[in-house]
Amino acid sequence: MNTMEIIREMEQDPALRASLRAVLLGEEFLNLPAEVRANTEAIGRLEKIVASHTEAITRLEKIVAANTKAIEELIEAQKRTEIRVTRLENDVVFLKGGYYESQWEKNATSYLAGHGYRNIHLLSRNDIADLVEDMEDTLRVDALNVDVVYTAVRRSDGLQVYVVKEVASRIHLDDVTGVQRRAYIIREATGSEVVACVAGASIADSVRSTADAGGVLVTVPSKWIIQSAEAS
C-alpha cells in the first residue's frame, strides 16, 4: 500500500485516522488542546478572583480614606477645643486675679499692718511713673507693670519705705522674681528702701522658699484660702 492509498483509507476510516494520529503525535500532544482549555479556564477564574480582590481593596481604600479624613477632623476639633479650654482657663485666672487684687486693695492696710507697717498710702499710676521717670525705657515700662506700690512706715525703726506688691490667685515663681525685679528698679530710681511683697490664695513650698530666701514678704490671707478652695 502506497502513501496515497494510506491517505485514502484514513479519509474513509475515522478510527484508522485517529489511531494513526496517536501513533504519529503521541498521546501527550493530543491532550494539549484539553490542557490548554483547562489552563485557560483556570486563568479566567484567577482573573475573576483578582478582580474581586481588587474591588475589595478599592472599597477598603475608600473606607480608610474616609476614616482618615474623619480622624483628621476629630484632631482639628480637639485642637479647637483645647484652644477654647486654654482661653477659658486664662479667663478664669484673669478673673480670679482681678478678684484678689480688689480684695487686697480693700484690706491692704490690715494685711501690711500684719507685717509691721503703718501709715500706708497707695500710689497712683502717675505717682509710680514720676518715680521711674529717669529710668531707661525698658526698666520704666517694667516698673509700671507692677500691681500696686505703697509708701509705709516700718514700725520697728520708723523708716519710711516703698512697698511693691504683686497679687495673684496662686503665687508662682514668676510673681516672686517679677516683684523682686520691679522693687529693684524703684530702689534704683528713688534711692530709698523698697520692700517686695507677693499675695495670693496659695503658694507652693518651693516658691515660698525662694521668696523667703530673696527677702520677699508673702501674704496668704486665710479668707482667700477658703474662697479659693470653694471656687475649685
Does residue 146 lie within any of the structural domains?
A: yes
Q: Cα separation of 20 and 75, whole Å?
A: 79
Which domain does 114 fall in, by range?
96-231
Q: Which pLDDT score is estimated for 97?
A: 46
The answer to whether position 217 is within a domain reads: yes
pLDDT digits 0-9 by tens, 151-171: 999 999 999 999 999 988 788
| Cα dihedral sign, 47-53-58-61 | negative
Please write the tens of the pLDDT for every residue from 103-129.
666 777 788 888 899 999 989 989 999
Confidence (pLDDT) at 45: 76
Report if residue 198 sits inside a domain: yes
Specify if 143 maps to a domain.
Answer: yes
Percent of the chain with pLDDT over 70: 67
**Is residue 3 pLDDT above 90, yes or no?**
no
pTM equals: 0.53
Query: Is residue 33 included in any domain, yes or no?
Result: no
Domain count along the chain: 1
Q: Are strands 160-167 and 148-154 parallel, antiparallel or unpaired?
A: antiparallel
Alpha carbon distance, N-terminus to C-terminus of the chain: 120
Residue 199: pLDDT over 80: yes
What confidence score (pLDDT) does residue 231 get? 45
Determine, yes or no, domain membership for 54.
no
Beta-strand relationship, 217-219 and 194-199: parallel
What whole-number distance in Å separates Cα of residue 165 and Cα of residue 178?
10
pLDDT above 70 (res 28): no
Q: What are the distances in angstroms from CA 219 to CA 13, 34, 71, 153, 226? A: 125, 102, 49, 18, 14
